[in-house]
Structure 1
């Protein structure tokens, strides 16, 4: 008796025993298929929500970047106004000094 011919027979016997015991019943396969479909639907829903959250985060990032740019521009304008006020004060001081000398 060849041991290589026994192995396929043992595999076939184990498969038959598995079928008989109901391990591969169609009901269980249908249940598993339904569960896979349910999990797939939930995963699709989660992916859609994640994409929405990503879009919202990108929008918020763009708004924050714009707000930063606006704040920077406002700061530059304030610095320029401060410089102009200092120049005007110096000019007024010079004019006052000239008027006092006359």
Structure 2
């Protein structure tokens, strides 16, 4: 996997005037919030709460774009687009949640390596 697709640190540094301390803080905050959003997303899926699943997918997409995690953002967008097109295929959504969890673990390991 292209680490730049997972996380483009250079792009994020450019957004924050090369403030490496701020980048580390943002990365840490993002992974905590992402973990919470993923858990909430799984709960909403179990409850078949389409509106909540859509809202959480949108939040994950937005926060991932902000932190320059394109891969996670794209996968959240897949869930969002699926629901916007009036679909609610639980297996499809679960698959993308699993992919997002995998990418979140990869991102978390990048954080530990820094």
TM-score, normalised via structure 1 length: 0.28
With structure 2 as the length reference, what TM-score do the two structures score?
Answer: 0.25
Say which structure, 1 or 2, has more relative contact order (CA 8 Å, 6+ apart).
2
Larger Rg: 1
Which structure shows the higher helix fraction? 1
